[in-house]
Amino acid sequence: MSVEDGGVRGLGRPRQARWILMLLLSTAMYGAHAPLLALCHVDGRVPFRPSSAVLLTELTKLLLCAFSFLVGWQVWPQGAPPWRQAAPFALSALLYGANNNLVIYLQRYMDPSTYQVLSNLKIGSTALLYCLCLQHRLSPRQGLALLLLMAAGACYAAGGLWDPRNTLPGLHPAAAASPMPLHITPLGLLLLILYCLISGLSSVYTELLMKRQQLPLALQNLFLYTFGVLLNLGLHAGAGPGPGFLEGFSGWAALVVLSQALNGLLMSAVMKHGSSITRLFVVSCSLVVNAVLSAALLRLQLTATFFLATLLIGLAVHLYYGSR
């Protein structure tokens, strides 16, 4: 069974252990993103320019890739670099740039808990594009597993967390700093749908590109993040007046940038050696991390629906990756 088809049995034990560790780390970083971003809020708003955070994230990823070549962790391919193969990554950078900026802008039109739950609509859009673009047909068992992931998100939305101070189920950890009821505006819903479509397209397109090119992953990342930095630098410069480049940044904001950069590198490996569906499971499992961090750090209480959502996610993982 291949990694892409949903297993790691074909790998040796050391590689299998590294693969599982990588997925666990990525799950933890995804789950921590929304709580960390909420902890950055001042008076209920993000105090820094979203374009600054995204640009710093892309720059961090590029520097980490370049550093890996400089210290010899990655070997530069012999001969002249195939720069013509770099051009398709411009579209990937454009899609990821739009996606990353939407993640932060969405926080203005809904509470973080609503975002964390409804963003799982990307499961459907990604699965659909995965089947259409990669011509990969899902079995009924696999389709059921993806439906269970969506059901798990619905259970979490029904009240996976409870704030005893406000008696509102589903309240996000941001409420610890300033109470924020569950809400979403019509514009927020439209942006969320756009976010899910772009998320699915960026994932499937990048997977297709990375697997078709016979280039080292580190070089592909170098291409991708070079375009990413250039794109986001232009977006930041054209954003108009606002806070300074690092104005409003805190230790929490720096942690958001670093975790997103590291998670981007991990997801590149998933696209190269796994699949977009694997990424879906990582994102869905991150709901568990999100809830546990909210309970541990911000004194929110887990409810029965959270454990039901966790059970559904576990069942979905078993159906998709278990023995057939």
pTM score, two decimals? Answer: 0.78
* pLDDT for position 322: 81
Q: CA torsion, points 27, 33, 35, 36, in degrees to nearest 10? A: 130
Q: Does the pLDDT value for residue 45 go beyond 80? A: no
pLDDT, position 100? 72
CA–CA dist 46, 33 (Å, integer): 14
At residue 296 the predicted structure's pLDDT band, cuts being 50, 70 and 90, is confident
Sort 253 into a burial class: Cβ within 10 Å, 0-12 / 13-18 / 19+: buried
pLDDT band at 61 (very low <50, low <70, confident <90, very high): very high
Reply yes or no on whether the pLDDT at 130 is more than 50.
yes
How crowded is the C-beta side of 45, counted as CA atoms within 13 Å?
5
Identify the band that residue 56 occupies on the pLDDT scale cut at 50, 70 and 90.
very high
Collapsing DSSP to helix, strand or coil, 249 comes out as coil
Here the tokens at position 172 are 């996000």
Percent of the chain clearing pLDDT 90 (strictly above): 25
Give the three-class secondary structure for 2: coil
What is the model's pLDDT at position 177?
A: 41
Residue 317 has pLDDT above 90, yes or no: yes
Task: Output the pLDDT for position 207.
Answer: 92
C-alpha torsion angle, residues 122, 157, 265, 97 (rounded to 10): 60
pLDDT tens for 223-269 read 999 999 999 888 888 777 777 788 888 888 899 999 999 998 998 99
* More confident: 165 or 255: 255
H runs (alpha helix) in 5-88: 13-39, 50-70
Mean pLDDT in the chain?
Answer: 81
